[in-house]
Amino acid sequence: MALAMVILPLLLAAAAAATGSNRYRPLFLPAAATLHLGMAFAAIWPGLLGLDLPPAGPGEWLALDAPGKIVLLTVSVLFFFCSIYALGYLRRRGERSNRVFVPCLLGFLGVSSLVAWSQNLGLLWVAIEATTLSTAPLIYFKRSKKAIEATWKYLLVSSVGIALALLGTFFLAYSAVPAGLRPSMDSSTLVASAAGLSKPWLRAAFVLLLVGYGTKMGLAPMHTWKPEAYGEAPGVVGALLAGGVTSCAFLALARVYRVCAAAGELSYASNILMAAGLFSMAVAAVFVVGQRDFKRSLAYSSVEHMGILALGLGLGGPALFGAMLHVATNAMTKGVLFLSAGNIHRAYESKSTDEVRGALRRLPISAAFFLGGFLAITGSPPFGPFASELAILGGAFGEGRILQAALCLAFLLVVFAGMGKTVLQVVLGAAPPEAEAGRPYRDDALTVLPLFCLGALVLLLGVWLPAPLAALLRDAAGSLGAGL
Q: What is the pLDDT of residue 432?
A: 63
Query: pTM for the whole thing?
Result: 0.96
pLDDT at 429: 72
pLDDT exceeds 90 at position 60: no
pLDDT at 149 over 70: yes
How far, in whole angstroms, is CA 224 from its chain's centroid? Answer: 16
Which residue type sits at 181? Answer: L
Sign for the CA dihedral angle at 427, 432, 298, 336 comes to: positive
pLDDT surpassing 80 at residue 419: yes
Phi-psi group of 346: left, alpha or beta (phi > 0 → left; psi -120 to 50 → alpha; rest → beta): alpha
pLDDT for the residue 481: 81
User: pLDDT-based confidence at 53, cuts 50/70/90?
Assistant: low
238 has a pLDDT exceeding 70: yes
- What pLDDT score was predicted for residue 437? 46
- What does the pLDDT read at residue 442? 80
Residue 435 is predicted with a pLDDT of 41
Mean pLDDT on 51-75: 84
User: What's the confidence (pLDDT) of residue 124?
Assistant: 97
Q: pLDDT tens, 251-309?
A: 999 999 999 999 999 999 999 999 999 999 999 999 999 899 999 999 999 999 999 99
Q: What mean pLDDT comes out for the span 106-129?
A: 97
**pLDDT tens, residue by residue, 462-482:** 999 999 999 999 999 999 985
Closest by CA position to 282, among listed 422, 418, 415, 423: 415
Question: So what's the pLDDT on residue 259?
Answer: 95
Given a cut of 50, whether residue 233 has pLDDT beyond it is yes
Euclidean distance between CA atoms 378 and 376, whole angstroms: 5
Q: How far apart are CA 448 and CA 73, in angstroms?
A: 22
User: pLDDT, tens digit, for every residue of 351-388?
Assistant: 999 899 999 998 999 999 999 999 999 999 999 999 99
According to the 3-state scheme, what is the secondary structure of the chain? CHHHHHHHHHHHHHHHHHCCCCCCHHHHHHHHHHHHHHHHHHHHCCCCCCCCCCCCCCCCCECCCHHHHHHHHHHHHHHHHHHHHHHHHHHHCCCCCCCCHHHHHHHHHHHHHHHHHECEHHHHHHHHHHHHHHHHHHHHHHCCHHHHHHHHHHHHHHHHHHHHHHHHHHHHHHCCCCCCCCCCCEHHHHHHCHHHCCHHHHHHHHHHHHHHHHHHHCCCCCCCCHHHHHHHCCHHHHHHHHHHHHHHHHHHHHHHHHHHHHCCCHHHHHHHHHHHHHHHHHHHHHHHCCCCEHHHHHHHHHHHHHHHHHHHHHHCCCHHHHHHHHHHHHHHHHHHHHHHHHHHHHHHCCCECCCCCCHHHHCHHHHHHHHHHHHHHCCCCCCHHHHHHHHHHHHHHHCCCHHHHHHHHHHHHHHHHHHHHHHHHHHCCCCCCHHHHCCCCCCCHHHHHHHHHHHHHHHHHHHCCCHHHHHHHHHHHHHCCCCC
Q: What's the confidence (pLDDT) of residue 296?
A: 95
- From the list 373, 376, 379, the residue with the least C-alpha distance to 392 is 379
What's the whole-number average pLDDT of the chain? 93
Q: How confident is the model at residue 12 (pLDDT cuts 50, 70, 90)?
A: very high
168 CB-near residues (< 8 Å, 6+ apart) = 204, 205, 206, 207, 208, 209, 211, 212, 256
Is 326:254 a contact under the CB 8 Å cutoff? no
pLDDT score for 482: 52
Average pLDDT of 391-407? 96
- Residue 96 pLDDT: 87
pLDDT confidence bin for 483, thresholds 50/70/90: very low
Judge whether 134 and 90 are in contact, CB under 8 Å: no
Evaluate if residue 328 carries a pLDDT over 80: yes
